[in-house]
Amino acid sequence: KTSVMLPKDENYAPNLYLYNYRGLRVPRDGHQVAAQGADAQGEAGRRLRRVLPRRPARPGSRRLCTSSQRTWTSGLSAARNLEQRFPFLEYCYPGVSSIEKLPNARLIKSHLPHSLLPESVHTENPKIIYVIRNPKDVCVSLYHFTKLIKETGYEGTFTDFFESFIKGNVAYGPIWKHYLEWWEHRNDPNVLVVSYEELHKDVCNVIQRIALFLERPLRDDEVNAIAEHCRFTSMAANNAVNYEHWKKLGFVNLAEGDFMRKGIVGDWKNYFTPEMNAMMDEWIKDKFGGTGMSFVYELRDEVTDGEEV
């Protein structure tokens, strides 16, 4: 049996459970994430192998998705929302059948770790862009996102969520397994690993790296235009990327604010107690020590405050 129900977290809605699917924590309710569909076994796997083209851009964050998409399509109408233009591989909406109809080069994103991607990722070598963010800010961001989504019914405190995060019992967790699987492939020629913090420190440099990686060189004016398009304030005001349509569909708790919340580095300092910070530091050393992976926890005068663990 590959999928095992985890003990019920009473902070969530009564009908929402997490399942352990081959090491990944998968929510079976809500948007019905089908991790099985990303497995390389069975008919679902065969369908997904047909979906992935030889060279799609596969960004892992919404800011990066937008910059990559402009690189590939330059002029795509903003009338279509991000879910339609950059569908998630594992979501039922718009679904694999819709992705199959997209023209090459297809732009697909995913929450899945390396081990759960379709077999074609390992045989066809599509272009993959993987985005990491420091775990402290991820914890805060995911907490707010979990409270934002109405179907989760999450009523726990940040302390409750922090404890679940540390244990890996959050959707698409545990984060360390996810990060380390991709980190092992950071030197693969078809994989580019960038950090959320790099995007803040020097977005133009990251855009140039992405352009070279995707074999789509850009002029300086194009880089600057993409950088402006990807500014947090620009994206927050752009209905094609800010998920405002979720409000109309009733997917979100309006009292929890917007999908585009802050978009900053270091927001964890507004939530972590000294004890939480010490616990997280030890957790990071335990999970990432000796791997060569480093994280940036705040930006000061364009100088990173990272520490290798």
Fill in the DSSP letter of residue 117.
Answer: S
Which secondary-structure segment (H or E) carries 130? strand 128-132
The neighbour count for residue 56, using CB atoms within 10 Å, is: 24
Contact 50, 100 (CB under 8 A): yes
Contact 262, 153 (CB under 8 A): no
Place of tokens 């907490």: 143
Classify residue 286 as exposed, middle or buried by CB count within 10 Å of its CB (0-12, 13-18, 19+).
Answer: exposed
Query: Exposed e or buried b for every residue in 138-151, given b needs 16+ CB within 10 A?
Result: bbbbbbbbbbbbbb
Contact 56, 108 (CB under 8 A): yes
CA atoms within 13 Å, Cβ hemisphere of 37: 20
Query: Would you please indicate which residues are annotated as catalytic (active-site) residues?
Result: 111
